[in-house]
Chain A
Amino acid sequence: MTRSSLATGALLAIAALTLAGCSGDDSPETPDDTTAPDTSGDTVELTFWHGYTEADGDVLEQIVADFNESQEAVHIVTEINPWAVIDDTLLPSLSAGDGPDIVAMPAERLPVYAARGAFVALDDFYADAANNAADLNPGAVDMVTVDGAVYGVPAGFVPLALYYNKALFDAAGVTEAPATWDDWVDTATALTVDENGDGTPEQYGVVLPDHATVANGLWPSLFYGNGGDIVADGEAVVDSPENAETLAFWQDAIAGAAISPTGVDGIGADELFSGGKAAMTVGGPWMTFIAADNGIDLGIAAIPAGPEAQAASAIGISMAITAQDDPEVQAAAEQFFAYFFNDENSVAWSLGSGWPPLRTDIPADAIAENATVAALTPMAEFGRPLLPGVVNTTDVLTAVDELTQRAMAGEGIAMLLAEAQDKVEAALADQ
């Protein structure tokens, strides 16, 4: 019995493979017939990959649906996956020429794709006044600019901000969010609770991740605050006295006074904050969703000003059109971008996503109904693009992560800065 069933199984399998092979030969080009209304035959079908998986995703889906409704010529189909998955799958699909027509990605990921020729330059789109592109936040546009050409449009641009737990502030008698670094350390010290005195606080005043920070932006923000930077005008400037001071200041506060845990990454920081184990964190607009899920009464403030500047690195999401497309597809995608940036959708997207409007000419009262947006929008002026124009952001950010994590673990700052400088220089030379 076993034998005959096995043989039958084998034959079935062979038959099935033969069939699969045949059907493959018969219809090699079928993946495109989706449910799209293809009546007229001149509808341009676009695939759009993005990673907005939360409530913001629903809003974006609605905008796409409205766009599809609004006209006959273009039909967009979205495919939603987490950002990391998009990054994993984009290369193979581009290599095979069947990638998405429009793809959204974290802004610091765009330059490397653009530099390798994945995206079409959109200078024409920016030149057309009807597209409202001239009003886009210049910092956001910097993040899609590589070698002087513009390779995408922003889908989101928001400075990192200080998010705090109002209940924990009240419990400690703290009434105001800190405004300067010294305030910040004092406030955090007041909010740090180590009841059993074992040196490991049960509640931290603040959680400042020392690597893989939110949008990789925490340490750039702190460097800016003291007048430092990582890359300026295409040159590595990590190893500067300003940055040495910055690291020494926070090494004292974090490794010394234990106002924040060490060895935490950005996601870990969000988790500590959402679990009520840290009173302040530096994060993005999605903290609103996280706080709501965890019953936290959330306060929002700008990142406290450093000795030299009030500045914050921005979290950016960019959208681009893949270069494998023909001009017709490019025109269709630009048509969607123009729709995305019109008055109505600029406001709808901002309110729905909790991110400030991408256009600087949207009046404040248009977005007043969303408290997060209303709080974040005025900070946009402090927002700085992260590593604009740098192609090999991967190695630069890895070098910064190593620098900050080892510094907060108490290692010697001068040596770490020199090492980081070498690595950033190598990464810049590499491109």
Chain B
Amino acid sequence: MSSATATPASGSRAPAVTDPPIRRPRRRMRAGTLVSILAMLAVTAFVLLPIAIIVLTAFKPTAEVNAYPPTLVPDTWTLDNMRRIVTELPFSRLVLNSFVFAGGVTAFALVFDSLAAYALARIDFRGRRALLIAIIASLMIPFQATLVPVYQLVSELGWVNTFPGLIAPRAADAFGIFFLRQFFLALPRDLDSAARIDGANEFRIFRSIVLPNVVPALLTLGIFTFVNNWNDLLWPLVFTTEQEMGTITSGLTLLTGPGGIIPYGVMMAGSLIAILPLVVAFLLVQRRFIESVATTGLKG
């Protein structure tokens, strides 16, 4: 506390009661802050409730899952649900597939999107505006509409039930290009003009000067892409008919019980396993991630 007062940043929070003119506003501010804190705590609790229910229900015995009155924290903790996931699904294979699929899409999309975004943001060429609008417009058709033609093409290539079939159609995406373009636009032009005068070629400028300045944006887009693909349900369902090629997210559909009943406890256990890698990865990089979403800022 006493050491904290040394830093200028904490000055505003120090209880400076010696200065009458600003005393009242500060006290009011503190009351306001208290209200803000309570409100924020309530909102946060509400926001975290579904995640808490996934985590906690995963460890509840079936009887308790279906009991009234319901509980938040399990009265009895059990690993039965987890055990069923591990025994009823080719679990480790599905998780591995998820990593390969989401990771593969992310790797390709980052490279391809950043190259394309660079051209759209920093090279003047004819038709740039039209191309950009076309790319944005392609976001507006629901993917259910193009699923069948995409599948036909993947099948034509012999890629059904293969990783290339899962990954290639998403190796570049319109949102990523648009997203990175906005970021590239925000970089000052003179960043690369000097290099250009020196005769550096465009790829060198891209790789050595521009790209290092957009690492936060790449991280953002990378996580964004990874999360979306990891979580995708219909895509892996359609492109993999063999269980061994499915992802953990699509594999959850296999937990449907007799008569179509979805056992909540088992499903929550599966959901927990499905979101755990994402939550852990997110918590590890969250500071940089959020800051880079923020920096990306979409000021463009």
Contacts and interface: CB of A to CB of B under 8 A. Distances in A.
A and B form one complex: yes
B234 interface: yes
A96 interface: yes
A427 B138 CA distance: 33
B160 A98 contact: yes
Interface in A89-107: 89, 91-93, 95-98, 100
Given A10-B110, A98-B155, A286-B259, 17 more contacts: A3-B212, A14-B111, A16-B108, A20-B168, A24-B159, A24-B164, A31-B161, A80-B243, A84-B253, A93-B151, A95-B148, A96-B154, A96-B160, A267-B260, A267-B261, A271-B66, A290-B257
Given A13-B108, A28-B158, A97-B155, A91 B148 contact: yes
Interface string A202-227: 00000000000010000000000000
Interface of B: 62, 66, 107-108, 110-111, 147-148, 151-152, 154-162, 164, 167-168, 171, 207-208, 211-212, 215, 218, 234, 237-238, 241-243, 253-254, 256-262
Nearest to B211: A6
Contacts of A91: 148
Contacts of A275: 66
B256 A79 contact: no
Contact of B208 (A3, A14, A49): A3
A29 interface: yes
B164 A20 contact: yes
B211 A89 contact: no
Interface string A174-199: 00000000000000000000000000
A140 to B, nearest CB: 20
B162 A31 contact: yes
Contacts of A28: 156-158
Contacts, number: 125
Interface in A51-66: 53-54
A142 interface: no
B209 to A, nearest CB: 10
A89 B160 contact: no
Nearest to B109: A13
Given A96-B160, A275-B66, A286 B258 contact: yes
A347 to B, nearest CB: 22
A13 B168 CA distance: 12
Nearest to B260: A267
Contacts of B242: 79
Contacts of A2: 212, 215
Nearest to A83: B260
Contact of B107 (A13, A88, A95, A267): A13
B37 to A, nearest CB: 37
A415 interface: no
A399 B211 CA distance: 57
Nearest to A276: B66
